[in-house]
A and B are shown apart, each in its own frame.
Chain A
Amino acid sequence: MSALRRLPAAPLSLAAGAMVWEVIGRAAGVSFFPPLSTVLDRLGEMAADGALLASVRDSLLNLLLGTAISLVAGIVIGVAMGRSRRVEAALGVYVYALLTAPSLVFAPVFFSLFGAGRGAVVAVIVMYAVFVVIVNTAAAVQAVPAHLEEMARSYGAGERQLLPRVVLPAATPMIMAGVRLGVGRAVTGMLNGEMFIAVVGLGHIVTEAGGSFDSASVLAVLLIVIAVALVAIALVQAADRRLTRWVPQTAKGAQGK
């Protein structure tokens, strides 16, 4: 038991999931749910012919662009909304409406605007990711303790100094919570966008394979997407740890060990 406890939780639960998948896949013996080993074989085949690698590269580039735009725009707009009632009044209703709207309904619009290429996919990713970043950033900025701002003003800080010296550092833990959610949604947006627009990236493979009832290929792509998502989340967490090292462990609550 103590030996089990020492193992990291994520790999352990992944291994268990893989085992369950394999067992159920073999027992079921149906073509639409092949066991993990079959999916991994197919993944090997796909990787061997080079098309997969190009698709992965395509998708990653889409994801990177979409995430970068979402984070920069999300944080800038979020800070503006958090600092200014007027900006919040002007943008708030749109942000909250679009946060809850199903993001994929905009895909046809982007398809028409940007054509069936990278632009449309990136736009879909931004649609998925940006609003949750905006909402969290605005809330984070509004939650900055008033006494810290007052202290800084008493030492002569103007708005220009308040932002980098007090507001942004104080808001960082909550902004990063929004960034985590945003990156997760960006991965979803990437696949959905690519499936809908269907000429590029991993989503293209999924659509083709799904159309011919090739479950092994669909699941192989799913594995890659899961890997991409896990790596993206790990990167965000690493950045989060660096940026919010000062937050006491008890205040982080469930994040602690």
Chain B
Amino acid sequence: MIEIHGLSKTFTDRRGDTVTALDDARLDVAENEFLTLLGPSGCGKTTLLKCIAGLVPYDSGTIEIDGRPIQGPGPDRAMVFQNFALLPWASVVDNVAFGLRLRGVARAEREERARELVATMGLAGFEKKLPGELSGGMQQRVGIARALAVQPQVLLMDEPFGAVDEQTRRLLQEELLALWEEQRPTVVFVTHSMEEAVLLGDRVALMSARPGRVAELVPVDLPRPRARGGGPDRSGVYAELTAYLWDRLREMHEEHRTVRTGAPA
């Protein structure tokens, strides 16, 4: 469904130096797949996600969704942001309806749909509240509802639970799992947590930093539904996979350190 070939992207930083974020990256995401994108910080995983979102232009390569090359942001994709990116002056309902409003959906219709999603996300009774009056977890529920409101084919999530506390994160993960197992949208989910990558994903795409590309695709052989009863058994396959991913990530960190200091650690 999403096909990424030879994707390269370089930035120029403030000092004028060239930074290679992505170098010949390739990745295929299947329809209805939940793919988690894991990697060390600075490996370009967020850049890759933003390229898919159409927010960041890339230097070379192709991104196709159902065979159509993407040209900027489109109604087939919706994004959930790490810092929530809610409009602080708009109520919960208006925030959820924001994407619909930009697309010219009539007021009555968009508010009805927004209210339904607000209820789905467990925020009934908070419709008129402003984001500043909500906890971080509730704010991200609004962010997810806003993405779901536009009924995207692909849900792009950029470390969505990175800014909330551990307990809230667990709850949000379970809610997302339940939601996904019911509706089965295609999800690309960026995270820096091995546990989160394994818990949520059908496959984990492990990214390396230099060069910024997908180094390995790790299938997650855990039964679904995983949302029920406090999540999957965290021993067995789960523990093996998270341990394996950490080994790989630590290798990458060590290589990175060697490259930087110019001598073996």
List the interface of chain A (C-beta within 8 A of B).
147-148, 150-157, 161, 165-166, 169-170, 172, 246-248
Q: Is the interface of A mostly helix, strand, loop or mixed?
A: helix
User: Are A153 and B55 in contact, CB atoms less than 8 angstroms apart?
Assistant: yes
Closest residue of chain B to A251 (Cβ to Cβ) is: B132
Chain A: minimal CB distance from B111 (Å)? 16
CB-CB under 8 A for A148 and B73, given A154-B55, A155-B98, A156-B103: no
User: Are B73 and A169 in contact, CB atoms less than 8 angstroms apart?
Assistant: no
Contacts of B89 in A (CB 8 A): 169-170, 172, 246
Contacts of A247 in B (CB 8 A): 88
- B87 partner, pick from A150, A153, A154, A169, beta carbons under 8 A: A169
- A156 partner, pick from B73, B81, B83, B146, beta carbons under 8 A: B73
In the complex, B206 has a CB within 8 A of chain A: no
User: Are B85 and A166 in contact, CB atoms less than 8 angstroms apart?
Assistant: no
Chain A: minimal CB distance from B193 (Å)? 21
CA distance A238 to B156 in the complex (A): 42
CA distance A155 to B102 in the complex (A): 7
In the complex, B130 has a CB within 8 A of chain A: yes
Contacting A at CB under 8 A, from B65-108, are 73-75, 77-79, 81, 83, 85, 87-90, 98-99, 101-103
Contacts of A246 in B (CB 8 A): 88-90, 130, 132
CA distance A150 to B99 in the complex (A): 13
CB-CB under 8 A for A156 and B85, given A165-B102, A246-B130: no
Contacts of B205 in A (CB 8 A): none
Q: Knowing that A150-B55, A154-B78 touch, tell me 16 more A-B residue pairs with CB under 8 angstroms.
A: A148-B85, A150-B81, A150-B85, A152-B102, A154-B53, A154-B54, A154-B77, A155-B73, A155-B98, A155-B102, A156-B74, A165-B102, A169-B87, A170-B87, A246-B89, A246-B90
Contacts of A165 in B (CB 8 A): 98, 101-102
- A151 partner, pick from B85, B101, B103, beta carbons under 8 A: B85
In the complex, B150 has a CB within 8 A of chain A: yes
User: Are A157 and B102 in contact, CB atoms less than 8 angstroms apart?
Assistant: yes
Chain A: minimal CB distance from B48 (Å)? 15
A–B Cβ pairs within 8 angstroms, 8 of them:
A154-B55, A154-B73, A154-B78, A155-B99, A155-B102, A156-B73, A166-B87, A248-B132
CA distance A228 to B53 in the complex (A): 53
Contacts of A147 in B (CB 8 A): 81, 83, 85
Contacts of B90 in A (CB 8 A): 246
Closest residue of chain B to A246 (Cβ to Cβ) is: B89
On chain B, the number of residues with a Cβ less than 8 Å from chain A's Cβ atoms is 25
Contacts of B83 in A (CB 8 A): 147
- A154 partner, pick from B79, B88, B103, B132, beta carbons under 8 A: B79
User: Are A153 and B88 in contact, CB atoms less than 8 angstroms apart?
Assistant: no
Closest residue of chain B to A150 (Cβ to Cβ) is: B55
User: Are B88 and A155 in contact, CB atoms less than 8 angstroms apart?
Assistant: no
CB-CB under 8 A for A148 and B78, given A154-B53, A155-B102, A165-B101: no
CA distance A161 to B104 in the complex (A): 11
Contacts of A166 in B (CB 8 A): 87
Closest residue of chain A to B56 (Cβ to Cβ) is: A150
CB-CB under 8 A for A151 and B130, given A161-B102, A169-B87: no
CA distance A185 to B26 in the complex (A): 60
CA distance A153 to B79 in the complex (A): 10
Contacting A at CB under 8 A, from B129-162, are 130, 132, 146, 150
Chain B: minimal CB distance from A69 (Å)? 28
Contacts of A170 in B (CB 8 A): 87-89
Closest residue of chain A to B77 (Cβ to Cβ) is: A154
CA distance A165 to B87 in the complex (A): 9
User: Which residue, of B54, B78, B87, has the highest number of chain A Cβ atoms within 10 A?
Assistant: B87
Contacts of B78 in A (CB 8 A): 154-155
Contacts of B98 in A (CB 8 A): 152, 155, 165
Contacts of B102 in A (CB 8 A): 152, 155-157, 161, 165
User: Which residue, of A150, A156, A157, A161, has the highest number of chain B Cβ atoms within 10 A?
Assistant: A156
User: Are A156 and B75 in contact, CB atoms less than 8 angstroms apart?
Assistant: yes
Chain B: minimal CB distance from A97 (Å)? 29
